[in-house]
Amino acid sequence: MSSWRADIESIQGIKCKWDIDLTNLSTFRMSSRGDLIEVASETALAALLPKLNAHHVSYRALGWGANQVLAVIERDVLLKLDFPFDSSILDSVHESYSLPASVGLNLLSAHAIKFGLKGWEVLTGIPASLGGAIYMNAGTTHGEIRQLLKAVRVMNKFGEIRTEMIESGHFSYRKNHFVKPGEVIVGATIFHHGIDENIPDKIRHYLDMRKNSQPLATKNCGCVFKNASPTRQAGRLIDLTGLKGLSVGALRVSPKHANFMENSGTANHQDFEQLVKLINQQMRLHWGVTFELEVKAL
């Protein structure tokens, strides 16, 4: 075992899994291998990050792996946060909620349905941890998660935590502007905009719409491309160009939603790269636009 791995394994509160099959850690389910470290607390992470940096080991937080295309061989060590969470905070309504980054948005959506929290409909159906959603400013047609953020706690590469009080310039479309290389989101304080008895029906309606319009039961990575603008939406232009069902190898543009790609189970990274290239060639030809990837792909 290399010296840095032996050094890392001495840390309390982490579990190291070296050279493992990572395929099932992303919703896209494309073949991948690499190193995974499960982190059980902020204290453990504060001990881990300085050691990784001292050994010049690159790393990144994985989240739920719903918007990532993992490499065939991952060069980064993947960090899977599993911080303690007292779910009793969701038994009643609070003005604000201080939550760990590893909590799932599905739990927060269920809380919003139960109590009618206005604004939390923006979280509906996003398969992500809170930290992952904040990192990419995840959202739906109802808005973006930035609209609910009061503060975000970030740990730097030295194991030190700072609190970012969120302002308008902290985010843009599907992007944050404050998490620096080597830093990890560890928690956040979120709020709501009051109680609205229509919120439960609004969330349920949106969930039904997603079931009918998106391929939720397939192996996919969510929306592949960012919209070029509100009027030049990736899914709509790909659909209008007649590319639904376009296939490369075992990967195809979803017949249900054109901004999704479906993996039949044997798709590889070359299939993904070629299909992205083909779509953007057609986008330039027909619409004069090239779409930027929303999904994180190395």
User: At residue 93, what are phi and psi to the nearest 5 degrees?
Assistant: -85, 135
Q: Which of 146, 153, 164, 223 is catalytic?
A: 223
Q: Are 227 and 283 in contact (CB under 8 A)?
A: no
Q: Are 48 and 161 in contact (CB under 8 A)?
A: no
- Those residues with Cβ within 8 angstroms of residue 181's Cβ, 6 or more apart along the chain or in another chain: none
Q: Which of 146, 153, 174, 252 is catalytic?
A: 174
Q: Which of 121, 164, 262, 294 is catalytic?
A: 294
Q: What is the largest CA-CA distance in the chain?
A: 58
d(CA 21, CA 267): 16
* C-alpha of 78 from chain center: 14
β-bridge partners, 16: 37
Q: How many CA atoms lie within 13 A of 87 on its CB side?
A: 9
DSSP three-state, residue 143:
strand
**223 catalytic per annotation:** yes
Q: Are 87 and 108 in contact (CB under 8 A)?
A: no
Q: Are 201 and 191 in contact (CB under 8 A)?
A: no
DSSP three-state, residue 119:
coil
**183 catalytic per annotation:** no
**16 catalytic per annotation:** no
* C-alpha of 28 from chain center: 12
User: At residue 274, what are phi and psi to the nearest 5 degrees?
Assistant: -70, -40
Q: Which residues are catalytic?
A: 174, 223, 294
